[in-house]
Structure 1
Amino acid sequence: MTDIAISVQNLGKKYTIGHQKSGSLRESFASKVRGLFTPSSMEQEEFWALRDINFEIKRGEAVGIIGRNGAGKSTLLKILSRITDPSTGRFEINGRVSSLLEVGTGFHPELSGRENIYLNGTILGMKRAEIKAKFDEIVSFSGVEKFIDTPVKHYSSGMKVRLAFSVAAHLEPEILIVDEVLAVGDAEFQKKCLGKMDEVSKNEGRTVVFVSHNMVAVESLCKYGLLIEDGIIKLNDNIGNIVNGYLNSLRAYESSVQKSRIMTLELMKLVSVKNEPNNLVKCGSTFSILMLIRNDSNIILDNVRVALGISNLEGQRILHLDTALNNQGIKLRSESATQVEFVLENNPLIQGVYFVTVFISYKDEPQIWVKDFMMFTVVEGNFYGSGRLPKKEQAQVLVPFNIKLND
C-alpha cells in the first residue's frame, strides 16, 4: 500500500467571467427590461483560481493550507473533495474522504439530525451497524442531543457546524478535509475540534487537511503546510516557515492599492502617538488607523460607511469600529482624496498580534472589503499605572475599573 494519501500534479482551475459591454443608455435599459444579457453584450474574461499546483501529502500527516481570502484555498479543497473538477492536471486520493467545507455540508434540510447522520454514513460507504455503533459518540460530541430529531433546517449555523464536524470526524474517514467553517463555532467548540483532529491524525494515523486563518490553531495541529498566493503555491515547508511567510506577505500587502468602480483605498497605516516603530503599539497608549480614500467618480459620495474589524491571531474578532455606530457618515468629494482616521485612546488590546479587516460601502453597496489587510503588534504597556497586566489567557481586552471598600 502506498504511503501517499494525496498526490496533486500540475493542477489548475479556470473560470470564465462575463462582463456586460458598455453601450448606450438605451441598450443597457433594454437589456435590463428583457431580464438577460445576450452573448453579444457580454465580454468574457478568463480567471485562473489555481495554476500549476503540485504537492504530496503522506498518510497520517496533518497539513495546514493558509493564504489570504481569494488565494485559491477553498477551490483546492473543493477539487480534492470532488465537488468541482480541475481544468488542468490531475490528482489522486488514496482513502475515504470526509469533508467539512461549508455550514451544513452534506445535510438534507428536511431530514432530522439523526437521519442526516445515517445518510452521511451511507454516502461514505458505511453499513448501518457501523453508523449505529458511532451514533451516541457523534451526538455527545456535537452537543445537540436535545435537537437530534429536529429537522436540520431549524438548526442555527453553529449547531449545523457542531453536528457536521462531529459526523465528519467520527465516521472513520481516512482523510479529513476541514475548511474555515469551524470559525462559526464558539471558542470552546473550536478547541474541542482541534483536539479531535489532533487525535485523528496522531493517534489514529489519519490524514488531516486544514484551512484556517487561525495561525495558532494551524501551528498547534500541523507540522507541514502550504502557503497559497494568487492561485499558486508560494511555499511548501514546515508549518513555522509557512506561518512566517504568510505574516510577511501580509506586511507586503498593506502597501497595495484597493479599487472599486467609484473609489480607491490608496493608503492604510497605523500611526502611533509615541512613534513606535514597525506597527508596534503599547497597551494603554493612543494610536490611530489612518486611511486615504479617493473618490474616482464625478459626483459627491455622501454618507459613505467605513468599518474596521480588529481580530487576534486566533481569528477571533475583538473590536469593531464603524462610522455607522455613531451616525458619522463620510463625505467623499468628487475626484479628490479624503483622509479618514480612527483614533483609539488608551489602547485596550492585550499584548499580541492583530489583523485589521477593512469594509467600505456606499448606499449599502459594498465597494471595498479586504480581510486582514493590515497587521500590527501590541506590546506590554502601563495601562493600569501599576506596571502589571493580566496574562494573555486571562483577558482579551483591558478596561479601566475602580474598587470601592466599605469599612
Structure 2
Amino acid sequence: MRGFLEEHRQRQVQRRIFITLAGLVIAFSIVTLRLVDLHILKGPEFAQQAKKQHFRMISVRAERGTILDRKGRILAIDLKAPSVYAIPSMIKNERETSKRLASVLKTSLQTMSERLEGPRHFVWLGRKLDPPTAEAIQRLNIEGIGFLMESRRFYPKRALLGQLLGFTGVDHQGMEGIEYSYDAVLRGQEGGIRFERDAAGRAVFPEGFDYVAPSRGNDLVLTVDEFLQHISERELDDVLARTKAKAGTVVMTDPMTGEILALAIRPAFNPNTMPGSTQAYKPTSPDQWRNRAITDVYEPGSTFKIVSASAALQEGVVKPAEVIDCEEGSLVVAGGRIRDPFPHGLLTFREVVAQSSNVGIVKVAMRLGDSVFYRYARAFGFGEKTGLDLRGEVPGILRDPSKWSKRSLATL
C-alpha cells in the first residue's frame, strides 16, 4: 500500500513538472512571436512613428512662379520678406519680451504673451514684415527670437488687371483670379525647418536648423497685353467720368483665336492691399475684387444685333441689299414702341446693321420666329458658360421660347 502511494505521488510530481514546462514553452513561444511581429513585421512602421515623434517639421512656403503678359512683361512676382519667429523655451523673461515685441508688432500684450507662454517649440510672431518693422525687432536683440525669409507677392502694375490676377493669402496660396485658378502651377514645392525633440518633447537646437529648401513654382504667361490693358482701362475711366456710372467692364478679344487681350473692370482693385502682398493689409470688400466681366449679368444691347443679322442671313430671310423701311425710327410691337436713337427711313439691310437701327433689325428678326431665333442665340453661346479658366463665371439668362412674351423677340 505504501509503495502504491509513493508511486502515485511521483506521477503527480512528474505531471506538474510537465505542465509547468509546457506552460513555459507556450509563454516563450508567444513572447518570441510577439518580438518577431514588433521587430520584423511592424518594425519599419514603429521606426517611422518614433522618427516623427523625435523630429518636427515647420513648413516653409516655396517661391511662386512669375505671372507675365503675352510680351513677357511682369504682372505678379515674389519678393523676399522677413518673418519673425520665437523659441519660447529659450526666452528668459517672457513678460518683458512680450511687452517689447507687442509694441513693435502693433499687437496686444495679451496676444503676444499667449504666443510666448507654454511648451511650444516654435511659433510665428509676424509673417512677411515690412523692412522697418523687421529692423526694429532686430535692434531689440532678444535671445530666442529669429528671422526667416519668406516669399511675398508683389504686383508691380498695382490696380492694372487687379481682378483678373487675383491675390494670395498669408500662407502664399492662391485665393482669387489667376492666382487661384493656376495655384497648382504657380505655388511650387514647399520646404521646411526640421528640428529634434528630446524625451520630454522639448525642442533641441544643437547647431541651428536642418533647413530643407523649397522648390520654386512655374512661371505663367497670359494672353493679355499690358499695353492694350492700359488703353482699355484709360478709356473705361473716361467713359465712367462722362456718364457718372458706378461700374464698367471692357473685354477685348482676338476674334480669330478667342484669346482675351484685355479685361478692364471698374471699380479698380489693387491686389497689393491684401494679406499676402507687400503692402500693409487694408480690409477690403469682396465686391472690389469681384470679376464683373464673368460674374455679372447684363443685357448685351446693340451688340446682340450681330446674332440677329447672322441668323437672318444664314436662314435666307433677307439679302444684304434688300431695302428695309425703318419707319422713321419708330415701330409698335405688341403694344410697345421700338425706337431708334436717330430716325431712319429706307435703308438696305447692310445699312441697317451699319447704322444699328433697332427698327430695321427687329423687322428682319421677326421673320425668323421665336424658335429659330432662340436656336441661333444658343449657337452663339448665350445662356451657357464659356468655360473660361476663372471661377465665378455665370451662364447668363436666356429663357426658353415657351416662356417668351409677344415682345420678347423684339426686345432681345
Q: Above 0.5 in TM-score?
A: no
TM-score (normalised: structure 2): 0.24
Name the structure with the higher strand share: 1
Structure exhibiting the larger radius of gyration computed from Cα positions: 2
Name the structure with the higher helix share: 2
